[in-house]
Amino acid sequence: MNSDAMKAFFTLHRDLPREGPGEAADVVWAAHLADLSEAAQIADVGCGPGGDIAALLGAAPAGHVTALDTTEHFVEAARQRRAGDGRVTVLKADMARIMNRYDMIWCAGAVYFLGVTKALNTWKKSLNPGGVVAFSEACWFTDDRSDRARAMWDTEYPDMTDQAGVTAQIAAAGYEVLGQRRLQDRAWEAYFGPLEARIDQLRPNADAALQKVLDEADEEIACWRAHRDEFGYLLSVVRPA
C-alpha cells in the first residue's frame, strides 16, 4: 500500500469504535468457556481503538487489561477511551513480542498478521498455567463460494481457510480447542454501521485515492451482506494441550 493509499485508509478508519466485527457477547462466551476469574490478567492483542476493552473488563472486573497495537492513532484512541481507568494499560507494541504473562490473550480479527500457528506458538510462553487464547479468524463456511466472495478474499486474505483448516492450525501449535462459534450478524453490523456512516460523511469531498478506499469498503460491506452464508469470522477459544 503506497503512502496515498495508506493515508486514505486511515482517513476512513480514524475515530471508528471498532476495527472489525465483534460484540460483547463474544467476550462473555469466551470468558465462560475459559472459566476466567474475576481477577484475571488479560491481553487485548491488536486492540485497535479499544472496542473490546469494556467487555473484557466486564469479564474480569477485579482484573487488568493490557491492550496493545502498533498503530499510533489506534493506541491514542484506546487511551482516550479508557483515560483514568487504572485497570487498563494501553501500549504501542508488537503482538509478536508480548512480554508479560496472562490468563487470557484476546485477539479479535488480527491473528492473520502472524498466522494462526505462529501466533499461538509465539504466545504460549505468555500464558499463565491454564491460560487460554481467544481469537477470531476470517473463515470460509462452505465450499460453494461465489466469484464475488472469492475475488474479495483472494485480494484481502488469500490464505483464508475453513473451520477444519483453522482447527488443524491450532492443533499444529499444540493447543486443544475448548470451543468455536461463528460471529453473529450483529457483530458485523457493529463494525459496518459506523463504517457506512463514515463513508457517507467522507464521500462528497474525497480525492481519487480516498474514493478508491471508500469504494473498496462499500464493496466489502455489500459482499458480506449478499454472501454472509459463505464466509465470516470463527471465534476459537484454545489452550495449550
- Tally of helices (H runs) and strands (E runs) in the chain: 9, 8
Question: Quick one: pLDDT band at residue 31, thresholds 50, 70, 90?
Answer: very high
Per the structure block, which three cell numbers stand in for 11? 482517513
Q: What is the pLDDT of residue 214?
A: 96
Question: Quick one: pLDDT band at residue 1, thresholds 50, 70, 90?
Answer: low
Answer whether residue 4 shows pLDDT above 90: no
pTM for the full predicted model: 0.96
Q: What is the dihedral of CA 20, 23, 28, 33, to 10 degrees?
A: -50
Question: Quick one: pLDDT band at residue 2, thresholds 50, 70, 90?
Answer: confident
Residues 6+ away with beta carbon under 8 Å from 86: none
